[in-house]
């Protein structure tokens, strides 16, 4: 239509002038409209990275695993879970969880245990091959020097995490779990090393209660423990177990909040470099029965060296320095984003998780009004942009949440006929009274 109008405009010089100025205006308007939609789409995808790129179906998921097993039987790939998946029937597909920008996440049962199978690509052939295998026979690989494999693995870990070998502890990657290396095993390891989440979780195995351990792999897919993820659809953000009334709900939320604080402190201080969480939302976390928070999706988690590399980009304003939940400041003289992150894991957790729980000032509660008000003010201070004094704020939040649990416990003990709760369990600051967690909430947990 714009072209037709432009053509008509060129035929009416008295109205539009010579040289087709109306046509040029129409084309410019069309170009601006198109550019606006392209920009809007790009901003939408950046603001909502979880928007699925394709439909998640059981039929396609089964085809993906069938192709994986075909490659295994042909010797192209290997792994300690391949036999159970492809031959013994001990690893059985259950359902498709989601597809997102090429990433495939499937649920399965492994010898009666629910697990998640993950890969950032659908096909094994999507990963660049290992150059060391060029010229090796199909069944070869045994003669490759381990030193060369370690050098290659170190390079991939450095690229994925920004860490040097001594900082990351590459021995934890278990280059070949058992037996002499085979071509398929080495090719599979190479595909796994090109997946940042696999590398990070392998390095955290046994070092963090807040990260799920890698249970095994087959080809380019790796298995993790299946835990029920959070969701904005949950009143309490997370499925926390059977309902325990207002007191039980408040006790559960306080226990989970304490574990979030423990996770923040742990990621900030317990490794050679701070671990930054750049995509904080309920869907990326799960809660164990003992209230331990587990980061189940760490595609957007980066150690300090990698974080600095990501943030240090060209800019014309501060907004250009925002990488999902990790922000930096723009140096307007140099037009470069600062390499130092301006916000923190604690500030984002307070803003995107704690606000939902502790910001309400309405209604009655199992928690006293003065304590509820102090907690609300502390969360608002913590979540404010540019909040300073993170250790002080974290300490204050921890003290207030522990006071909530003491108040709830004391209230239970004063109730006629109420059973006393054990005090002995101090896991992540959570008393034994809160070991079983109430879940779906019919009202705000602190109202």
Tell me, what's the pLDDT at 411?
A: 80
Whether the pLDDT of residue 435 is over 90: the answer is: no
Tell me, what's the pLDDT at 22?
A: 45
Q: How confident is the model at residue 151 (pLDDT cuts 50, 70, 90)?
A: confident
Tell me, what's the pLDDT at 11?
A: 40
Q: What element of type H or E holds 106?
A: strand 103-110
What whole-number percentage of the chain has pLDDT above 70?
Answer: 71
Whether the pLDDT of residue 194 is over 80: the answer is: yes
CA distances from 118 to 7, 64, 99, 292 (A): 55, 12, 10, 22
Kindly write down the DSSP assignment for every residue of 248-298, as one continuous string: HHHHHHHHHHHHHHHHHHHHHHSSSS-EEE----GGGEEE-TT--EEE---
CA distances from 277 to 46, 151, 300, 341, 344 (A): 16, 28, 6, 11, 9
3-state secondary structure of 415: coil
In terms of average pLDDT, the best of 26-30, 177-181, 441-445 is 441-445
Tell me, what's the pLDDT at 295?
A: 98
Q: Which residue has the higher pLDDT, 414 or 378?
A: 378
Q: In this structure, what token pair is assigned to residue 325? A: 């939940």
DSSP structure class, residue 428 = G
Q: In this structure, what token pair is assigned to residue 395? A: 């300490």
Q: Which residue has the higher pLDDT, 36 or 80?
A: 80
Name every residue whose Cβ is closer than 8 Å to that of residue 149 and which is 6 or more positions away in sequence: 132, 175, 181, 186
CA distances from 42 to 37, 51, 319 (A): 9, 12, 15
Q: What element of type H or E holds 247?
A: helix 245-269
Please compute the mean of the pLDDT values over residues 195-202 and round it to a whole number: 94
**Residue 429 and residue 264: Cα distance in Å, rounded?**
14
Whether the pLDDT of residue 244 is over 80: the answer is: no
Whether the pLDDT of residue 43 is over 50: the answer is: no
Residues 158-187 have pLDDT tens digits of 788 887 755 655 555 554 444 455 788 889
CA distances from 110 to 62, 87, 190, 214 (A): 16, 13, 24, 13
222 bridge partner residues: 118, 217
Q: How confident is the model at residue 285 (pLDDT cuts 50, 70, 90)?
A: very high
Tell me, what's the pLDDT at 432?
A: 36
Q: How confident is the model at residue 198 (pLDDT cuts 50, 70, 90)?
A: very high
CA distances from 433 to 231, 429, 437, 441 (A): 25, 11, 10, 19
Q: How confident is the model at residue 386 (pLDDT cuts 50, 70, 90)?
A: confident
Q: In this structure, what token pair is assigned to residue 219? A: 């080809």
Tell me, what's the pLDDT at 40?
A: 38
Pairing of strands 336-337, 293-295: unpaired
Tell me, what's the pLDDT at 38?
A: 37
In terms of average pLDDT, the best of 42-56, 117-131, 405-419 is 117-131
**Residue 357 and residue 52: Cα distance in Å, rounded?**
28
In order of start, what are the domains of the chain with their CATH numbers?
58-131+151-225 (no CATH), 246-309+343-413 (1.10.510.10)
Tell me, what's the pLDDT at 417?
A: 54
Contact 108, 117 (CB under 8 A): yes
CA distances from 77 to 181, 223, 303, 317, 337 (A): 12, 16, 30, 47, 42
**Residue 178 and residue 365: Cα distance in Å, rounded?**
56
Residues 245-268 have pLDDT tens digits of 888 889 999 999 999 999 999 999
Name every residue whose Cβ is closer than 8 Å to that of residue 84 and which is 6 or more positions away in sequence: 90, 91, 110, 111
What whole-number percentage of the chain has pLDDT above 90?
Answer: 58
Q: In this structure, what token pair is assigned to residue 301? A: 């988690």
**For all residues of the chain together, what is the average pLDDT?**
80
Least confident of 11-15, 178-182, 216-220, 298-302: 11-15
Please compute the mean of the pLDDT values over residues 5-28 and round it to a whole number: 42
Residues 314-367 have pLDDT tens digits of 999 999 999 999 999 999 999 999 999 999 999 999 999 999 999 876 644 789
Whether the pLDDT of residue 32 is over 60: the answer is: no
Q: How confident is the model at residue 24 (pLDDT cuts 50, 70, 90)?
A: very low
């Amino acid at each position: 239509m714009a072209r037709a109008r432009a053509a008509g405009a060129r035929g009416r010089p008295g109205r539009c002038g010579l040289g087709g100025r109306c046509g040029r205006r129409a084309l410019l308007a069309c170009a601006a409209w198109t550019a606006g939609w392209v920009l809007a789409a790009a901003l939408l995808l950046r603001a909502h990275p979880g928007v699925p790129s394709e439909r998640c179906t059981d039929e396609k998921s089964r085809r993906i695993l069938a192709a994986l097993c075909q490659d295994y039987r042909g010797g192209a790939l290997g792994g300690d879970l391949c036999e159970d998946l492809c031959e013994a029937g001990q690893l059985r597909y259950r359902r498709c969880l989601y597809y997102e920008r090429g990433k495939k996440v499937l649920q399965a049962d492994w010898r009666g245990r629910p697990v998640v199978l993950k890969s950032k690509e659908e096909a094994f052939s999507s990963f660049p091959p290992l150059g060391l295998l060029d010229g090796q026979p199909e069944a070869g690989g045994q003669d490759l020097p381990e030193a060369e494999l370690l050098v290659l693995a170190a390079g991939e870990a450095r690229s994925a995490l920004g860490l040097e070998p001594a900082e990351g502890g590459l021995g934890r990657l278990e280059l070949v779990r058992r037996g002499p290396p085979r071509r398929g095993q080495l090719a599979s390891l190479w595909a796994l090393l090109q997946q940042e989440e696999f590398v990070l979780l392998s390095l955290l195995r046994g070092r963090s209660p807040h990260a799920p351990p890698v249970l095994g792999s087959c080809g380019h897919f790796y298995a993790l423990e299946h835990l029920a993820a959070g969701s904005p659809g949950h009143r309490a953000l997370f499925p926390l177990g059977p309902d325990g009334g207002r007191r039980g709900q408040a006790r559960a939320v306080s226990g989970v909040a304490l574990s979030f604080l423990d996770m923040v402190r742990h990621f900030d201080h317990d490794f050679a470099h701070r671990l930054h969480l750049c995509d904080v939302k309920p869907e990326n976390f799960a809660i164990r029965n003992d209230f331990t928070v587990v980061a189940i999706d760490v595609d957007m988690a980066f150690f300090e060296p990698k974080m600095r590399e990501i943030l240090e980009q060209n800019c014309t304003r501060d907004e250009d320095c925002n990488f999902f939940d990790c922000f930096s400041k723009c140096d307007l003289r140099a037009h470069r984003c600062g390499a130092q992150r301006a916000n923190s894991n604690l500030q984002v957790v307070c803003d995107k998780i704690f606000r939902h729980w502790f910001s309400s000032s309405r209604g009655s509660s199992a928690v006293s009004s003065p304590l509820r008000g102090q907690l609300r003010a502390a969360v608002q201070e913590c979540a404010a942009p540019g909040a300073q004094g993170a250790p002080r704020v974290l300490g204050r939040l921890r003290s207030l949440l522990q006071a909530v649990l003491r108040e709830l416990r004391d209230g239970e003990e004063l109730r006629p006929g109420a059973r006393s709760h054990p005090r002995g369990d101090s896991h992540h600051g959570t008393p034994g009274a809160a070991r079983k967690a109430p879940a779906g909430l019919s009202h705000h947990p602190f109202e």
